[in-house]
Structure 1
């Protein structure tokens, strides 16, 4: 293989050395290759990551990031990538309200709670360097994944306009040129059944094909007491196929496709309060139960195709092309009132498509390394939903589209000033052209014609416009690193990020006439100092980063009840905020039989200005003293340890773990839905054969059966049925797994 492609050994070493892994010995990429995490961490192998779009030693990268191997996540029973928030400091990664597969991501206080079409994320998701523009079906399951890199802070120079809070890189396994087959079967609580199969077939010395198929099913944690169906269940079918061609050491081509279909029932949430008898309210015994009557149909599909080519033009120059197409659609419904009646129901439909093309030129010299590139995105996000206000016999239909064409040119260079000092300078220019169309109209009747009620009578036209906006931004980054020795790096950096402006797809031109003008981008300036190092003969690894960010024009979605039965929605550019904190990751590997990990994150986020319209006023008012950051706990802590012994021709490893998150606000204001701080306790026990071909394991998550909210809706008042609805993280689960590799 070419030097441009990381080996399995270096990838697993990266996961062992710096992430909070606490795992048993990891499987190597090729069957028969033995890899012990503790010994790898103490070896002289270089740890390689691609956080700066080129292969580098992890210690050399002046960015706060965590690297976690897919095998570690699997062994510890991670249900999906939301488990990253338990292993990564200052990260919130949750399933969206009322959804089963839509992602809510926040890093260092920056993110996106509103998954509506056309609204840009603040933490970007990449699958094999392909940007995933929409959060629907972004809750990726853990199969066929080599590692996940979590980059914290703005990554606007190399990753673009919507990485203002950070980026999550989901890296799947390359096929290689040897026959490989593996299978995994898991059974657990609530009749959980996971089946995963992977196959690689080398057709020639240079051409291989392969694929993975995964089937995930689980009964619900609760029940819809009105319809009898499961709540918080899982019904997912996913597959990936790829072909790789490497005729020489300097050429590598990969074509890959994936498709995921999620037919889990919608989650309707659980009432926290009564509603004054409109209609009669009866509490449920379980926070996972509901009395929703809006319906139980939910279908989310996403699929994509990508082609990646890497060509070594010389010993120093490599050309890389990444072409990708993705699309998806969602049919779902959210019962905001959680009663059998249509007091406040929202049937919805989303559709998106995107094409991206990226060209890179990578240079690796003795003292100078860097990457230059251009990027193009052409996407459309569209959708529609009804707001059914049953007590008024009224429905408001909202629909619209956002077309985006984005162009960018970027570069990042690192130069070794001396053997100990290195300077990195980068910048990216981005231009977005957006066209937004929004339609919003009243109908008399329960549901509009768009959602099945042909007899609904059209009423007041609230919004009907098409507008064009262009946004452009230059996002530079500079860092200075000092290496007093090979395994130690002190660095300081400054970077700028921005999230593109746009149009509010819920905008009501009667309640907020300025919605037709759209909203502005948000920007952040972030300063970071850090240290990465290996100590005590590589038995102790320690990362530490402190950051300060100046956050301007933050885009905040405000939804509140309005006169006449509607719900006023508008996007505020909220003024100014100050964010500062730190992240620390420590890993101790004194022997091959014991490892210990500690991860600590602290974030202080405070609004300095927050201008918004209140009480129907026409002049913005500063309410910063009444606003808080959502989905941003001040403290995140994780501790774990692994004891392992040679048993029965293999290795038996036991890993307990505990994670803590301090108080969390669900919105930018105080509400009864806010979650107090809580602890989660997990444990796993795995036996792995000496040749890494077989694994038998059991993983328990949330052993104390903690109840904790991860989202909610807040629409108080009799007209809306006093809809104060909570959504909860998983209860205690235990899962047993058998896995083989050939």
Structure 2
């Protein structure tokens, strides 16, 4: 089943006819925190007449973006504010190499070039392939990606392995977020936005001295928006936004050589969220009487709408997505003379309190399916960097400890028997009503690393840059699921009672304690050459890994009901990566063109297996033999004057399973018997035990993705104030992608284009007033499609945001 949205052609016409462009991909409003030196690009602020260099800290030292041999996209604070990209989910519209998917904050994935984490339900027992860092502090919970950016100065998206530069190993890339730092001069900023869907957002920050040696900064942010889906069962709009955040920093500078920064932050979300709604049905190999259409008819159930873009649902279970994160960090930066010694000590926590409707219908089939979790993490990083005429180096050590506790519950309701059972038991609601699985899930995760990178310039213009990483990981887990029925009896595999047997076929008890530990050695080598002062060519080879993991969502049982312990752990990924690129500026540095080509081969790729058995509560992890992603990236920006700028960024990614011969089958090849012959896809009968999906594309990856935009402005006076009247456009386009770990005809999402307009007036004194329209052409598109367990043929999904509009007033001083 495919859904073809309208509107991309209009957006592409808009690109071709563009005369009012905005920000380049490398537009920056950044703070060099250690030196309190802000470098602003005039694109987005319009306050200078010449292009200025973009300073990045991607390699843990301050350099210009065009001088580093890394494929990196830089997004400045002004661009974030003006384009409404207030979290990572919206950041992907500006950086086409980034993919973000989220069915709720916990079940969120962030990938770069198609790799990072498996697509689907989150499993706490594995690492993230894309590291998220805020002011050098590693955020291990990808749920943090759903929060609003708080007082952000700049975001750098680094593509490719970064383990020789960063504390935690990152095989796909890193998102390096820098916040605005305390200043010894009084400054502040405030911003208020209102818009459709009762959108309200307010942000404010103030910074200044407390004494000659101490400065402070405080920032707050709040976002609220009515939901985009109306639930007829409760009369509420759901999938809303409700975010509050606060961040404080104290800087102590006893002399010119030492900065000591203490920071603390707290953010909370508490929306009525997150429902995936009815999209359609597709036949499986289950008996027709046991598929969605027949089951719904047998219970006289009709979905409230068969058109998902009516944006209505009737889910009857409680919904909540309370998500809370916070922490504190102490950063010490000491200029020793020859180099700089940096220490970052941090503690962070995460608290997740969900409520879901996992039958995705208005029937009381699954009345509870929640996995509240709590996490604490401690990190310590120490690094020393030194720069010389011919030789630079950075060496660091990193220690990490994480504790995760999850208290899962799944409870079946009075409609479950008819929906999930066969024969006479299907007519007895008491068989499954009240059947409950209570899960105790624990993880203790420890890692330590020594890493470094060295730069040698044997000839003028030529740099040889090797790097290394020595890493130790240890994970200890517990999965303990106790199942009781509505009568309070334990459901066990020892019982021969047919009712108990039916119950454990829906919710199976299980206990196992997986363990994993391993040492790994990584290395890379980069060669770069300055062809001219404005052209840099580079090539990189990396041999790296992603740590092995443990399964914490349950694994299949054998015939005797024992967990298959071999599935309790997954092997480390082995990664070989090659990349070559060129960074060029021309026309007196008013134009920038950066190109890169890459190929990444992964052995023992950690894939999510969405098993069709009802007794397997959630997806679990398994190793695919081989995966490959390769492609091309291009970032182009042009600023011929301070009145006009335009950008166009694009990526081509070919990401596929090279070898995965025992993968889970897609729904059209699932749900049938175990005999022979195997039935045709979607035809009831017999199903294969597993499928060979070698050569199929990885989920969530579009072959082509573009981001585009620009701005034109003119100097004018309004109400006696001198300033700039400007018009801008930003948009993105992506081709179709698969939304299931094993590609399915039912979960292919067609490509779409989104276009945003804005018009406003800003003054030299720091006032900015603009109106905006996002998704101008009101394109209907899906962010994600999913197939619930059980092979009934139900397809659910998340419609993307409709057209929205609003107005923003901002002031800085």
Q: Same fold (TM over 0.5)?
A: yes
Q: How does 1:527-546 map to 2 (within 5 A)?
A: 527-546=578-597
Check conservation: 2:249, 2:263, Cα contact below 8 A: yes
Aligned to 2:219: 212
Aligned to 2:738: 665
1:379 aligned to which of 387, 396, 402: 402
- State how far apart, in whole Å, the 1-side matches of 2:345 and 2:100 are: 27
- State how far apart, in whole Å, the 1-side matches of 2:238 and 2:346 are: 35
Aligned to 2:133: 126
Aligned to 2:551: 504
1:687 equivalenced with 2:737 (yes/no)? no
Aligned to 1:413: 454
Check conservation: 1:101, 1:138, Cα contact below 8 A: no
Deviation for aligned residue 1:77: 2.1
Deviation for aligned residue 1:611: 3.7
Give the structure-1-normalised TM-score: 0.90
SS for the counterpart of 1:417 is: strand
Q: Compared with structure 1, are the counterparts of its residues 87 and 632 closer, same or farther at alpha carbon in structure 2 (3 Å cutoff)? A: same
Aligned to 2:708: 639
Deviation for aligned residue 1:694: 0.9
Return 274-283 or 221-230, whichever deviates more: 274-283
- State how far apart, in whole Å, the 2-side matches of 1:583 and 1:260 are: 35
Higher strand residue share: 1
Gaps of 5+ in 1: 1-15, 450-456
- State how far apart, in whole Å, the 2-side matches of 1:76 and 1:346 are: 36
1:111 aligned to which of 104, 107, 116: 116
Check conservation: 1:304, 1:324, Cα contact below 8 A: yes
Q: Compared with structure 1, are the counterparts of its residues 100 and 219 closer, same or farther at alpha carbon in structure 2 (3 Å cutoff)? A: farther
Check conservation: 1:673, 1:726, Cα contact below 8 A: no
Q: How does 1:27-106 map to 2 (within 5 A)?
A: 36-37=42-43, 43=50, 45-94=52-101, 96-97=102-103, 99-100=104-105, 103-106=108-111
Aligned to 1:556: 607
- State how far apart, in whole Å, the 2-side matches of 1:167 and 1:34 are: 23
- State how far apart, in whole Å, the 2-side matches of 1:448 and 1:175 are: 60
Aligned to 1:652: 725
Aligned to 1:6: none
Aligned to 1:572: 622
Greater Cα radius of gyration, structure 1 or 2 = 2
Q: Compared with structure 1, are the counterparts of its residues 31 and 509 closer, same or farther at alpha carbon in structure 2 (3 Å cutoff)? A: closer
Aligned to 1:347: 370
SS for the counterpart of 2:95 is: coil
1:521 equivalenced with 2:569 (yes/no)? no
SS for the counterpart of 1:37 is: coil
Check conservation: 1:561, 1:567, Cα contact below 8 A: no
Q: Compared with structure 1, are the counterparts of its residues 40 and 732 closer, same or farther at alpha carbon in structure 2 (3 Å cutoff)? A: same
Deviation for aligned residue 1:347: 1.8
Check conservation: 2:132, 2:138, Cα contact below 8 A: yes
Deviation for aligned residue 1:639: 1.8
Return 358-367 or 132-141, whichever deviates more: 132-141
Check conservation: 2:30, 2:38, Cα contact below 8 A: no
Return 144-153 or 109-118, whichever deviates more: 109-118
1:726 equivalenced with 2:797 (yes/no)? yes
Aligned to 1:444: 485
Q: Compared with structure 1, are the counterparts of its residues 32 and 60 closer, same or farther at alpha carbon in structure 2 (3 Å cutoff)? A: closer
- State how far apart, in whole Å, the 2-side matches of 1:320 and 1:27 are: 18
Aligned to 1:612: 662
- State how far apart, in whole Å, the 2-side matches of 1:667 and 1:33 are: 43
1:630 equivalenced with 2:699 (yes/no)? yes
Give the structure-2-normalised TM-score: 0.82
Check conservation: 1:684, 1:700, Cα contact below 8 A: yes
SS for the counterpart of 2:144 is: coil
Check conservation: 2:55, 2:65, Cα contact below 8 A: yes
SS for the counterpart of 1:704 is: coil
Aligned to 1:7: none
Aligned to 2:385: 362
Deviation for aligned residue 1:78: 2.2
Check conservation: 1:164, 1:523, Cα contact below 8 A: no
Check conservation: 2:42, 2:51, Cα contact below 8 A: no
1:594 equivalenced with 2:649 (yes/no)? no
Q: Compared with structure 1, are the counterparts of its residues 103 and 650 closer, same or farther at alpha carbon in structure 2 (3 Å cutoff)? A: farther
Aligned to 2:751: 677
| Corresponding residue pairs, total | 711
Deviation for aligned residue 1:184: 0.9
SS for the counterpart of 1:226 is: coil
1:281 equivalenced with 2:302 (yes/no)? yes
SS for the counterpart of 2:356 is: strand
Q: Compared with structure 1, are the counterparts of its residues 54 and 681 closer, same or farther at alpha carbon in structure 2 (3 Å cutoff)? A: same
Check conservation: 2:608, 2:741, Cα contact below 8 A: no
Q: How does 1:52-451 map to 2 (within 5 A)?
A: 52-94=59-101, 96-97=102-103, 99-100=104-105, 103-112=108-117, 113=119, 114-159=121-166, 162-273=169-280, 275-276=292-293, 277-278=295-296, 279=299, 280-284=301-305, 286-287=308-309, 288-314=311-337, 316-344=338-366, 345-390=368-413, 391-392=416-417, 393=432, 394-445=435-486
Please list the CA deviations of residues 345-385 of structure 1 after superposition, one character each: whole Å capped at 9, or x if unmatched. 52221111100000001111112112101000010122132
Q: Compared with structure 1, are the counterparts of its residues 205 and 173 closer, same or farther at alpha carbon in structure 2 (3 Å cutoff)? A: same
Return 594-603 or 338-347, whichever deviates more: 338-347
Deviation for aligned residue 1:210: 1.8
- State how far apart, in whole Å, the 2-side matches of 1:35 and 1:595 are: 11
Check conservation: 1:20, 1:598, Cα contact below 8 A: no
Check conservation: 1:663, 1:675, Cα contact below 8 A: yes
Check conservation: 1:610, 1:627, Cα contact below 8 A: no
Gaps of 5+ in 2: 1-21, 282-291, 418-431, 491-499, 665-669, 676-687
Check conservation: 2:397, 2:451, Cα contact below 8 A: yes
Q: How does 1:480-491 map to 2 (within 5 A)?
A: 480-491=527-538
- State how far apart, in whole Å, the 2-side matches of 1:447 and 1:354 are: 37
